[in-house]
């Protein structure tokens, strides 16, 4: 084995050159005699040495030793380092340009002038939970003045380069936009964010469990007279609504536009429009229903109801039980007035029937009294109005009464006129059954006692009561 004198690489004995650095072993051998030390016998004298030294110093320099060629690994490593450095330079240029705040403002300016509201909106940062949209934000900036805002932003960006403290940009009285540096890529770069400061929207809730909606936000009050924070919003026009599911349902809606102020807090101005509703009915114990739901309250308990609203879209009725225990429903009334009366048709009908029954009973009593007088004087005029004109019964009773002129020495004493039964035949037809007793005397018949069961048929015509028929069901006559 042999070793290269140039690089020390081990090679085979018969190798002509070094496989590592390329130096030929022959050239190495040729140079050996020149490096060998002369023998003592051949050593030159001092003069000769001096002469040779001078000659050696004047000889030209030997040719440079050739550099060994780079290996594949070295070449690959150098290539990688070059590419990496180039990539870093390109990445630096790209990132610097991407996060350059001046470029961002230029992009905003282009989007604003092109009325690209979405692109303009996306150039700003909105805190999580803030309700914002491109249309309203563009309108807000337009009202503020884009040139004015652009100059404000550029001025604050200049403070960053000068390492000065940045200020908040105000919209008239309220804070509008703040600028923040967000470190990225391990703090090597800064992403400049233009944060839009929102307005906190609140509402006053007069009652517990009131549901409020403002834009896309919904909140529910947890107690009476509560100040509720609905959320954060940018200026714009938003729809609001509320609902309260109390004894009397309450609701309302409208629009509201929050605006910047010294505290950036806006309260929704709600017109509650509350009033008192008076509820009455035929039946004080009837249960009131509002909007199809039971209030669990009787009419007598809801005589004056507050808070309430006049709302024709809401229907009110009451439920009760009739004398047979069956549920009956009142008339359904729209809540279109501050006074609501809930009539029960069945009750009114029963009341009407009861009134009619009493009227018929009273009519029968009057008839018996007038009939006694008519017979006493044999004058039909006392009872003619109890019968319909032209009816058979009117003619029969007119004859019977006037025929008493022919009876010598007659006398009537009416004792009992009792009503034993009352029936409703139809809405205007009724029937009475009676038990009547009286004494009768005359020169021809002597003294007699009568007991009679009768049926009277009555009818209502134009609020007038008439006797249509009188039927003798049973008569007992005894001689006294």
* Least confident among 148-152, 187-191, 287-291, 361-365: 187-191
| Band of pLDDT at residue 82, cut at 50, 70 and 90 | confident
Residues 334, 373 within the same domain:
no
The verdict on residue 46 lying in a domain is no
Q: What's the token pair of residue 135?
A: 């249309």
Q: For the chain, what is the domain count?
A: 5
Q: What's the pLDDT score for residue 46?
A: 42
Question: Which pTM value belongs to this model?
Answer: 0.59
Q: Which of 453, 444, 452 is nearest to 478 (CA)?
A: 452
Check if the beta carbon of residue 250 is closer than 8 Å to that of residue 290.
no
- 332 and 429 together in one domain: no
Q: What does the DSSP assignment read for 130-152?
A: -B--HHHHHHHHHHH-HHHHHHH
Decide if 146 is inside a domain: yes
Torsion angle in degrees (nearest 10) through CA of 82, 88, 91, 95: -160
Q: What's residue 317's pLDDT?
A: 96
Q: Which of 167, 196, 225 is the last residue of a domain?
A: 196
Asked if residue 64 belongs to a domain, the reply is no
Structure token digits, residue 405? 């002129």
Is 65 a residue whose pLDDT tops 70? no
DSSP state of 271: -
pLDDT tens for residues 410-430?
A: 999 999 999 999 999 998 999
Judgement on whether residues 280 and 225 belong to the same structural domain of the protein: no
Same domain? 362 vs 452: yes
Confidence band for 185, pLDDT divided at 50, 70 and 90? low
48 domain-assigned: no
Most confident of the ranges 8-22, 189-203, 453-467: 453-467
User: Which structural domain range is residue 11 located in?
Assistant: 1-30
pLDDT of residue 21: 74
Residue 28, Cβ density class (10 Å: 0-12 exposed, 13-18 middle, ≥19 buried): middle
Rg from Cα positions in the chain:
60
Rounded Cα gap, residues 60 and 347, in angstroms: 143
Q: Please, are residues 331 and 289 in contact by the beta-carbon 8 Å criterion?
A: no
Distances (CA, A) of 328 to 282, 284, 345: 12, 14, 9
Q: Where are the beta strands (DSSP E) in 164-292?
A: 169-171, 174-184, 189-196, 199-205, 210-214, 217-220, 226-233, 238-244, 250-256, 265-267, 275-281, 287-290
Residue whose structure tokens are 């006129």: 417
Do 375 and 464 fall within a single domain? yes
Q: Tell me the average pLDDT across 184-205.
A: 85
293 shares a domain with 183: no
Please list the helix, strand and coil fractions of the chain in percent, rounded to the nearest 5, in that order: 30, 35, 30
> What are 360-380's pLDDT values in tens digits?
999 999 999 999 999 999 999
Alpha helix (H) residue ranges in 321-391: 345-377
Is residue 226, in this structure, part of any structural domain at all?
yes
Tokens in use for 81? 């380092």
Least confident span in 61-70, 147-156, 217-226, 343-352:
61-70
Domain identity same for 467 and 433:
yes
Residues 224 and 296 reside in one and the same domain: no
Buried b (16+ CB within 10 A) or exposed e, 211-237: ebbbbebebebeeeebebebbbbbbbe
* Residue 324: predicted pLDDT: 87
35 has a pLDDT exceeding 60: no
pLDDT per residue over 246-262, tens digit each?
888 999 999 999 989 99
Mean pLDDT, all residues of the chain = 87
């Amino acid at each position: 084995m042999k070793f290269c004198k140039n690089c020390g690489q081990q090679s085979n004995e018969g190798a002509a050159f070094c496989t590592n650095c390329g130096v030929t072993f022959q050239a190495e051998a040729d140079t050996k005699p020149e490096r060998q030390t002369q023998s003592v016998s051949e050593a030159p004298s001092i003069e000769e040495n001096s002469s040779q030294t001078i000659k050696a110093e004047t000889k030209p320099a030997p040719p440079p030793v050739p550099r060994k060629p780079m290996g594949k690994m070295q070449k690959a490593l150098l290539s990688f380092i070059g590419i990496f450095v180039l990539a870093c330079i390109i990445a630096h240029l790209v990132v610097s340009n991407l996060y350059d705040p001046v470029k961002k403002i230029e992009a905003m300016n282009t989007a604003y002038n092109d009325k690209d509201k979405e692109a303009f909106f996306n150039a700003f940062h909105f805190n999580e939970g803030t309700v914002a949209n491109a249309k309203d934000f563009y309108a807000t900036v337009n009202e503020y003045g884009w040139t004015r805002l652009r100059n404000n932003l550029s001025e604050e960006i200049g403070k960053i380069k000068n390492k000065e403290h940045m200020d908040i940009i105000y919209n008239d009285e309220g804070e509008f936009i703040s600028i923040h540096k967000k470190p990225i890529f391990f703090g090597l770069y800064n992403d400049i964010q233009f944060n839009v400061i929102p307005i906190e929207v609140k509402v006053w809730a007069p009652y517990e469990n009131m549901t409020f909606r403002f834009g896309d936000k919904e909140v529910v009050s947890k107690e009476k007279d509560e100040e509720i924070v609905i959320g954060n919003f940018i200026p714009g026009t938003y729809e609001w609504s509320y609902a309260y599911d109390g004894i009397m349902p309450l609701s309302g809606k409208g629009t509201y536009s929050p605006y910047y102020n010294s505290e950036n807090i806006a309260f929704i101005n709600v017109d509650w429009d509350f009033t008192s509703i008076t509820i009455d009915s035929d039946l004080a114990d009837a249960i009131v229903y509002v909007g199809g739901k039971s209030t669990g309250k009787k009419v007598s308990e809801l005589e004056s109801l507050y808070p309430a609203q006049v709302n024709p879209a809401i229907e009110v009725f009451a439920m009760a039980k009739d004398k047979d225990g069956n549920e009956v429903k009142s008339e359904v009334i729209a809540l279109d007035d501050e006074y609501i009366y809930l009539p029960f048709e069945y009750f009114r009908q029963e009341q009407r029937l009861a009134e009619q029954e009493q009227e018929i009973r009273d009519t029968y009593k009057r008839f018996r009294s007038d009939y006694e007088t008519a017979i006493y004087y044999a004058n039909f005029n006392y009872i003619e109005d109890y019968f319909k004109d032209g009816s058979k019964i009117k003619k029969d009773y007119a004859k019977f009464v006037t025929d008493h002129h022919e009876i010598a020495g007659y006398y009537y004493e009416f004792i009992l006129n009792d009503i034993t039964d009352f029936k409703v035949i139809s809405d205007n037809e009724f029937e009475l059954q009676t038990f009547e007793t009286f004494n009768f005397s005359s020169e021809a018949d002597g003294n007699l006692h009568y007991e009679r069961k009768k049926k009277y048929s009555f009818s209502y015509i134009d609020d007038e009561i008439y006797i249509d028929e009188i039927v003798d069901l049973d008569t007992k006559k005894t001689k006294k």
